[in-house]
Amino acid sequence: MKFDNVRAITSNFLLLAVTICSALPKDIAEDVESLDGPPFLADLRDQCRNTTGDDRTFNELKEHVSTDLPKCFMAHVNIDQLKTDTSKLDEQEKKKLFEKICDQINESVTCLTPVKAKLKPCLDEEDVKIMEQVVATVPEALSMACINSGALLQKFTEPAYRSCAMELPPMIEECTSELPDSMESLPFSQYAEKQCGAIYSMRDCFVRRIKECGATGYMDFFILFYRKLLALTPCK
């Protein structure tokens, strides 16, 4: 069975959002481990098994994401700065801190290169296009988070944003659950009115759920990925 294209886009939205949150004063490894549960990883495991014939590639990918990826991230980012109690800083000090953090996080984008290489054997041609689109969007998303001395990034230190990050996996399940089965194997270029309508409904679900969890800053990231999704289809 082909890996669900739409879920691939939204799952990467989840990964980016949680990764950015985990890049702030908290245990990074703890957040990476929390990504083990969402059903989209089970889908990816099946996809890897069907494509390669066994679970070796998926297990190597999972091991890299849970071990090597955090190490790479921490090699680029000053962990002590990430653990700074920002509540004790004045606005100017916060501004300088988040400017430094943003520079470091932008440098850490290189850590995605080996992830791409390990993921690629699991994907068909259509899914590789999705992966390339998503990875190409990461610098743009980070730039968005770091505008105005990391104003949006600062919001991710707030309890509401951390709480909402934990709601993202079930949110993805809810908002993609009504997508028709026909979308699972249909190339994006062949989407018609039915598939486009399903995407619009998914969008409305995400908008509603993000507003409900009270962390509207995530909306900017979702819209960014949503536009990337639309760009792959005839949908407007």
Could you read off the pLDDT of 37-48 as tens digits, one per residue? Answer: 445 566 778 888
The percentage of the chain sitting over the pLDDT mark of 90, rounded to a whole number, equals: 14
Residue 107, number of CB atoms within 10 A of its CB: 13
**Which of 198 and 39 is assigned the larger pLDDT?**
198
- 0.75 exceeded by the pTM? no
Q: Return the half-sphere exposure (C-beta side, CA atoms, 13 A cut-off) of residue 39.
A: 9
pLDDT in tens, 109-148: 888 889 889 989 988 887 787 778 777 788 888 888 888 8
Residues composing the chain? 236
How many CB atoms within 10 Å of residue 163? Answer: 12
* Residue-wise pLDDT tens digits, 55-86: 999 999 888 888 898 888 889 888 788 777 77
The single-letter DSSP state of residue 84 is: -
User: What pLDDT score was predicted for residue 38?
Assistant: 46
